[in-house]
Amino acid sequence: MPHIIAVTSEKGGVGKSTLSVHLAGAFQERGLSAVLIDEDGRVGSALRWAARGPGLPFVVLEPEQVKPRKLAQADVVVIDTEGRPKRKELRILGERADVILVPSGVSTLELDATAELMAFFHEDPQTRRRTRVVLGRVPPVGRAGEVAREDLRESGVTVCNTLVRSYAAYVRAAELGVLCRDVPGRGAEHLRHTQQAWADIVTLSRELL
């Protein structure tokens, strides 16, 4: 059975689809067969992302396309969940996934919403063990990410060590339908930023699997 990583949040605009697409790409680059399932039928961000570009290096499926034979050879399945899912659906997710990844920014409002969702997940001991926060859109300069990470940990929340920093390469990647590592551009600064953005994702993927 493939390792299932579900990316979910009750708050919009936290980079859920960006994280899902790039994690699948990082696993694939590492030699793991990755499949991304876009369960957000209302928006379909991952499907739209894949359709805009020359093709992503992994399979992107709608829920209706998911068949056992299509997943049989996969090492890891990343699920980009519905935006703002209902609590009942989140409980089911806790039974399906090996890891539930909750992306969050570092602002007070985002952290408060994340803490509330994690409190819900912590109601079930099994789900609690599977759930962790990943801090994204972290300012590349300063200690906002480190401070937010430690504050969450002090409150009893499991947080990934990796901080996914905010780079324009992610926005451009979504526009072009590619991964941030493949965003074209010139100059040393562009290359450095795309490499740093991609390095954050690869590091996070190794932390997860």
Q: Which of the two residues, 203 and 63, has the higher pLDDT score?
A: 203
Mean pLDDT of the chain: 93
Predicted pLDDT at 12: 77
Q: What is the pLDDT of residues 126-158, one digit of tens each?
A: 999 999 999 999 999 999 999 999 999 999 999
43 pLDDT exceeds 70? no
Residue 3: which region, alpha, beta or left (left: phi > 0; alpha: psi -120 to 50)?
beta
Q: What is the pLDDT of residues 77-91, one digit of tens each?
A: 999 998 778 888 888
Q: Note the pTM of the prediction, 2 decimals.
A: 0.95
pLDDT tens per residue, range 88-132: 888 888 888 999 999 999 999 999 999 999 999 999 999 999 999
Mind listing the pLDDT tens digit for each residue in 60-71?
999 888 888 878
Q: Where are the domains of the chain?
A: 3-208
pLDDT by residue (tens digit) across 156-165?
Answer: 999 999 999 9
Residue 166 has pLDDT above 80, yes or no: yes
Give the right CATH number for 3-208 from 3.40.309.10, 3.40.50.2300, 3.30.830.10, 3.40.50.300: 3.40.50.300
